């Protein structure tokens, strides 16, 4: 069995900028306390993104449908039956109103995601993207790898062809939703009908080959082990290495948050519910581990919707250089009991306040991570 070098040697490697491997990362996580890991993460942050600027994005999340066939045990947003009185597909008039409201607030991106709705034909997706992009000048990041897999299933086309058609219709990016933990033992336990880890990676790799904007995501709190979290990070780091070797940009940001459970989710109603979810300290420790291990993804986000903006603010001192987005609308995390159940958006002024309160300079960015303006 392979053994890791002493913890002090691993710390020296991180400080010097050398890459560490999974066993070394596990030893760091298990041996270092929260503040030690945070210090190492901040060294890595300064190596990747030097300075004192923390960014945010003005955008709106829009869920075009809540009908979904995957029945994830941690989700309270979806309705399995399209005939359920609470099921919906947004009409274009409402979609238009939501986008126009976002533009009036200065949004530079629309994040458009939904469920896996068997009643929607493949043409629905291409036509929706073409309709939006022909009417509105805004970055349009839409769907997740699992939604692309749904399109594969209903169209008979491969992901590469689907992504190309969507890009030609006006799609600018593929967000990293649906990753949760990229370890199939975990996925089989909590979302057995959903996309497998390797399939998620393959679809992201196809999107990156087409120069679509992509982000990487992670949700912790499923009762997964540190080793399984590192399996997830290893897949992301390996893909980033391949994509960069091919001359492409790859993931421009890593975003993680914590699992939210309440009585609205089947997992939350389970007698084993107490085994799941994690608190702020473990979230911050995992943020630090991800920043150290994902040494080829420049930007890391401390997310506010699950644990709240105060913890996101603290996360800026644990390796993160971004505090997320205004969102303007949040339907998924809130229904599972997240912070957004009582406040489903942040204003740009509020986000700048949290950034300043943590000792950083706020700057607005776009979804390409270009800084649009700083507020020194």
CA distances to 91, 125, 331 from 65, rounded to whole Å, are: 10, 11, 11
Q: Look at residues 375, 206, 232 and name the one whose alpha carbon lies nearest to residue 290.
A: 232
Mean pLDDT over residues 151-170, rounded? Answer: 98
pLDDT band of 338, cuts 50, 70, 90: very low
Spatial separation of the C-alpha atoms in residues 26 and 289, rounded to whole Å: 9
Spatial separation of the C-alpha atoms in residues 63 and 117, rounded to whole Å: 12
Inform me whether the pLDDT recorded for 262 exceeds 70.
no
Residue-wise pLDDT tens digits, 285-315: 999 999 999 999 999 999 998 899 999 999 9
pLDDT of 156 reads 97
Residue-wise pLDDT tens digits, 201-211: 999 999 999 99
Q: Look at residues 128, 133, 152 and name the one whose alpha carbon lies nearest to residue 63.
A: 128
Q: Are strands 251-258 and 213-220 parallel, antiparallel or unpaired?
A: parallel
Q: Look at residues 14, 39, 34 and name the one whose alpha carbon lies nearest to residue 24.
A: 14
Q: Angle of helix 22-31 relative to helix 34-48, nearest 10 degrees?
A: 130
Inform me whether the pLDDT recorded for 14 exceeds 50.
yes
C-beta separation of 125 from 113 below 8 A: no
pTM of the model: 0.93
Spatial separation of the C-alpha atoms in residues 237 and 214, rounded to whole Å: 14
Architecture of domain 23-374: Alpha-Beta Barrel (3.20)
Q: In terms of C-beta density within 10 A (0-12 exposed, 13-18 middle, 19 or more buried), how is residue 48 classed?
A: middle
In sequence order, which ranges of the chain are alpha helices (DSSP H)?
7-16, 22-31, 34-48, 92-104, 122-135, 145-155, 159-169, 184-190, 197-209, 226-245, 266-269, 280-293, 309-315, 332-335, 348-357
Residue-wise pLDDT tens digits, 215-236: 999 999 999 999 999 999 999 9
Spatial separation of the C-alpha atoms in residues 372 and 365, rounded to whole Å: 5
C-beta separation of 297 from 240 below 8 A: yes
Element (H, E) at 218: strand 213-220
Element (H, E) at 364: strand 361-365
**Summary count for the chain: helices (H), strands (E):** 15, 11
Q: Look at residues 217, 197, 194, 214 and name the one whose alpha carbon lies nearest to residue 205.
A: 214
């Amino acid at each position: 069995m392979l053994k890791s070098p002493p913890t002090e040697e691993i710390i020296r490697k991180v400080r010097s900028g050398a890459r560490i491997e999974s066993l070394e990362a596990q030893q760091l996580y298990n041996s270092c306390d929260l503040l030690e890991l945070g210090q190492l993460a901040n060294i890595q942050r300064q190596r990747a993104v030097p300075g004192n600027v923390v960014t945010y994005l003005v955008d709106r999340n829009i869920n075009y449908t809540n009908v979904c066939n995957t029945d994830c045990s941690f989700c309270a947003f979806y309705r399995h039956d399209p005939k359920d009185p609470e099921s919906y597909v947004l009409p274009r008039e409402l979609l238009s109103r939501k986008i126009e409201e976002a533009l009036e607030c200065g949004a530079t991106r629309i994040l458009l995601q939904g469920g896996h709705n068997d009643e929607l034909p493949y043409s629905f997706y291409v036509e929706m993207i073409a309709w939006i992009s022909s009417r509105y000048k805004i970055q349009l990041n839409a769907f997740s790898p699992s939604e692309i897999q749904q399109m594969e299933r209903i169209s008979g086309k491969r992901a590469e062809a689907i992504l190309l058609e969507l890009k030609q219709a006006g799609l600018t990016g593929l967000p990293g939703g649906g990753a949760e933990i990229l370890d199939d033992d975990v996925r089989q336990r909590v979302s057995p009908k959903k996309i497998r880890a390797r399939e998620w990676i393959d679809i992201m790799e196809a999107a990156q080959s087409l120069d679509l904007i992509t982000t990487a995501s992670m949700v912790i709190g499923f009762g997964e082990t540190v080793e399984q979290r590192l399996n997830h990070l290893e897949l992301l780091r390996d893909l980033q290495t391949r994509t960069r070797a091919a001359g492409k940009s790859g993931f421009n940001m890593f975003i993680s948050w914590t699992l939210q459970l309440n009585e609205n989710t089947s997992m939350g109603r389970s007698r084993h519910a107490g085994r799941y979810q994690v608190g702020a300290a473990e979230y911050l420790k995992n943020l630090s581990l991800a920043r150290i291990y994902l040494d080829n993804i420049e930007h890391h986000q401390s997310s506010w919707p699950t644990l709240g903006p105060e913890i996101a603010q603290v996360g800026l001192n644990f390796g993160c250089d971004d505090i997320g987005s205004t969102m303007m609308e949040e339907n998924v995390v809130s229904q599972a009991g997240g912070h957004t159940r009582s406040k489903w958006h942040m204003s740009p002024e509020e986000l700048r306040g949290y950034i300043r309160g943590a000792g950083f300079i706020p700057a607005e960015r776009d979804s390409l991570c270009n800084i649009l303006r700083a507020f020194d």
